[in-house]
Chain A
Amino acid sequence: MTALQTVQITRRVDPHLSIDRYDPEGELMLLHFGPQHPSTHGVFRMDLYLDGEKVVKVIPHVGYLHRAVEKLCETLAYVQITPIVDKNDYVAPMTNEQALNMAFEAALKLEVPRRARWMRTLFAELQRIASHLLWLGTFALDLGGALGGGSTVFIHCFRERELVLDLFEEVTGARFHYNTHTIGGNRHDLPAGWSAKVHAALDVIGPRLDEYEAMTLENRIFLDRTVGVGKLDAELALELGITGPILRACGVDHDLRRDAPFHAYDEVKVNVVTAQGGDCLARAQVRLGEMRESVRLVRQMVDGVPEGSINSGKPVKLPVQTKIPPGQVYVAIETPRGELGTYLVSDGTQFPYRLKIRPPSLHALSALPYIVPGGTVSDAVAILGSLDPIMGEVDR
């Protein structure tokens, strides 16, 4: 946490402003990269100003997937909001629910039973594995193409991700949009024999992570494409509010799981994975390391889930009529992409007055104008992929 407090906000030259000096005759080619483009991870648009293959200037445009989720939440009862925010970070839906319901619980000052907190931790870590696997697959797709080696990595990663989704299905009945967290605890208890299945799945995933490391971090072409590409320095990352693996890849040792423990993270030791360099390779190293750490954490915790209730049984008999006392609260958790925050303002009715979601991906995208210029179009694709943006949570 120390690093965070020493940040000085410095005035930087906006990279957008230097364009006229570079290109007085306006001879640069403007390439609209997206929103319908295979490598924009959804609907994202970058205006690339190209000098040949070289990118001179980048203007990111967000908002193509805007669904007015935050406004919609103001018209819904608190328990109805969970399935809506599931669709924000659609690669790690569990963490959306957790951040949201933790905010409600904090506002209600509810104590979540220990069993529910352990289950949430387990879910979060399993979700991290699934999310990072999907990232690795799509990143390889960006580097290697859908009709080539990239898709081979992609499909192999999806094979392992399936195992995790199967585990979630076992608990919640849903493979993706779970709606398993609720105010004060969880909705679905762990089925009998679930921990054995978790161990079986991890027995498969663990060794395969070695294979993925060999396929990527020891692959000459992968290294050529990632080393020194998209270098982001720690100071700029902190200034832009970037969190999660991207920040840790810049060498900043910051992880909310350890620094501001939520769920049951205060009962286990989390080894924070960091890397130096801040380039695409460092981000890949951090995410691959985090998958191993998550495998270790899940193995450690899955047998020790305490007995007891999974829900506090509060606040009222009819959950839809839950009212939160007037006030405001901000809760942040560490998702696979960084700090996912929920800011809730309540006016005492059964609907939120304002519900603001702070998505880590939006802040990650704000680095693009700084780190893409100077590289080629290919680098722009690699950098965008390495930031792991999920447009569902960027645009909301």
Chain B
Amino acid sequence: MSDGLLHGVVYSVLIVSVVLTATAMALWFERKFAARMQTRLGPTIVGPIGLLQPVADLLKLLQKEDIVPDNADAAIFNLVPPLAALAALGAAAVVPFSPSVVASDLDVGVLYVLAIGAVTVLPIFGAGWSSNNKLALLGGMRAVAQSISYEVPLLLSAMVPVILSGSLRLGTIVQMQADHHWFVVWPFFIGLPAFGIFMLAMLAEANRIPFDIPEAESELVAGVTTEYTGMKFALFYMAEYVHTIVASAVGAALFLGGWDGPFFPGLHWMVLKTLLLFTAVYWVRWSLLRFRSDQLMGLCWKWLVPMGVLLVGAAATWVVVFP
């Protein structure tokens, strides 16, 4: 077995387990965080300060009856939940947690992340289509429109650090920021808005409030996941959290200098920055109301896309003028 393969296998297992554990802890953290925002306590019973709540949730979901609706397209219906989880986890492969801790520092890391991100819409659409449920179908329809639209500003804003650093490799992008400045700090008039667009588009890709219209539970009951039970539902649920965590990590790497920071090892900084972005996402989630789907499209095509194009132009000019 070659060294490269061994490295890949070991780090894949390591990172998948770390990300999954982080997802469980993120679930607990979000519950506590949301509860404090809402003058509640959150989980307190299972384990010390409710730390084992995610385990209890998982055990509960494992015990649930696995229902496939009679008229559902069973093959697709059963295929898409693991696909959703895989697509979300896949992006974690190239995230550089420190100069050495990375499963695979691909030459085209950014492209890979965006491509994997685009795949996540397939399972959601598949779920909506195969459930044979009108609410799920509406949710799937919204998801496709939303994800494909927000793909564009996501791509444009991710291009900005690529142009500024001249590389598609995430490791190089972070190293470049460690050597000079984080892209949100300098040139801030390009990096900061690009970071904002990236975070917004990322929220939309991960179906988070205020962009969670595909599952809008006050309108579509549970959207695409309406017919899913037990572990299949849990996989979708997990995919969302993994997606949010990975996207926060990618955002930290692209704009916030990744592992770069004083005093502590790089891994600590990366985790801290990811956690900060993740918290911001949930802060937004538990504060804001939900957009309507047409307003969502308006925001994307009327504001984010033109701004993204401008920023890409500005970044290109910046690189030419101050090489």
Contact = CB atoms under 8 A, between A and B. Distances in A.
Interface of A: 29, 31, 37-39, 50, 52-53, 140-152, 155-156, 159, 219, 221-222, 224-225, 376-379, 381
B39 A149 contact: no
Contacts of A37: 221
B53 to A, nearest CB: 16
B216 A378 contact: yes
A378 B37 contact: no
A31 B218 contact: no
9 contacts: A38-B217, A142-B218, A145-B209, A145-B218, A152-B286, A225-B289, A225-B291, A377-B138, A378-B216
Contacts of B38: 151-152, 155-156
Nearest to A37: B221
A343 B263 CA distance: 78
A381 B219 contact: yes
A29 B290 contact: no
A37 B142 CA distance: 19
B134 interface: yes
A377 B291 contact: no
A66 to B, nearest CB: 24
B209 A148 contact: yes
Given A31-B135, A156-B38, A150 B218 contact: yes
B42 to A, nearest CB: 12
Contact of B219 (A39, A147, A151): A39
Contact of A376 (B39, B218, B293): B293
B71 interface: no
B209 A149 contact: yes
Nearest to A221: B289
A141 B216 CA distance: 11
B134 A29 contact: yes
B286 A221 contact: no
Contacts of A379: 292
B106 interface: no
A144 B219 contact: no
10 closest Cβ pairs, A-B complex: A144-B289, A148-B209, A155-B38, A149-B288, A378-B292, A39-B218, A143-B289, A221-B289, A149-B287, A381-B219
B285 interface: yes
Contacts of B213: 378
Given A149-B287, A150-B289, A221-B290, A156 B39 contact: yes
Contacts of B295: 224-225
B212 interface: yes
Contacts of A143: 218, 289-290
B286 A145 contact: no
Contacts of A150: 218, 289-290
A53 B217 CA distance: 16
Contacts of A50: 138
B294 interface: yes
B178 interface: no
Contacts of B37: 152
A140 B217 CA distance: 13
Interface string B24-62: 000000000010011110000000000000000000000
B176 interface: no
B153 interface: no
B299 to A, nearest CB: 10
Nearest to A30: B134
Contacts of B294: 53, 376
Contacts of B219: 39, 377-378, 381
**For B38, B141, B218, which residue has the most chain A Cβ atoms within 10 angstroms?**
B218
A225 B286 CA distance: 17
B133 to A, nearest CB: 10
Interface in B250-300: 285-295
B126 interface: no
B279 to A, nearest CB: 15
B167 to A, nearest CB: 37
A42 to B, nearest CB: 14
Nearest to B299: A224
A159 B288 contact: no
A159 B38 CA distance: 10
A156 B35 CA distance: 11
B310 interface: no
A377 B220 CA distance: 9
B284 to A, nearest CB: 8
B210 interface: yes
Which of the listed residues B34, B209, B292, B293 has the most CB atoms from chain A within 10 Å of its own CB? Answer: B292
Interface in B129-162: 134-135, 138, 141-142
- Residue with the highest number of chain B CB atoms closer than 10 Å, among A141, A156, A222, A381: A381
Contacts of B287: 149, 152
B285 A149 contact: yes
Contacts of A159: 39
Contacts of A381: 218-219
Interface in B4-21: none
Contacts of A152: 34, 37-38, 286-287
B227 to A, nearest CB: 14
Interface in B175-228: 209-210, 212-213, 216-221
Contacts of A29: 134
A146 B294 CA distance: 21
B134 A148 contact: no
Q: Which of B34, B38, B220, B290 has the most CB of A within 10 A?
A: B290
Contacts of A224: 291-292, 295
A93 B294 CA distance: 39
A73 B96 CA distance: 72
Contact of B221 (A38, A155, A156, A225): A38
A150 B219 CA distance: 13
B73 to A, nearest CB: 18
Nearest to A144: B289
B285 A155 contact: no
Contacts of B289: 140, 143-145, 148-150, 219, 221-222, 225
Nearest to A380: B219
A144 B290 contact: yes
A150 to B, nearest CB: 6
A220 to B, nearest CB: 9
A334 B295 CA distance: 37
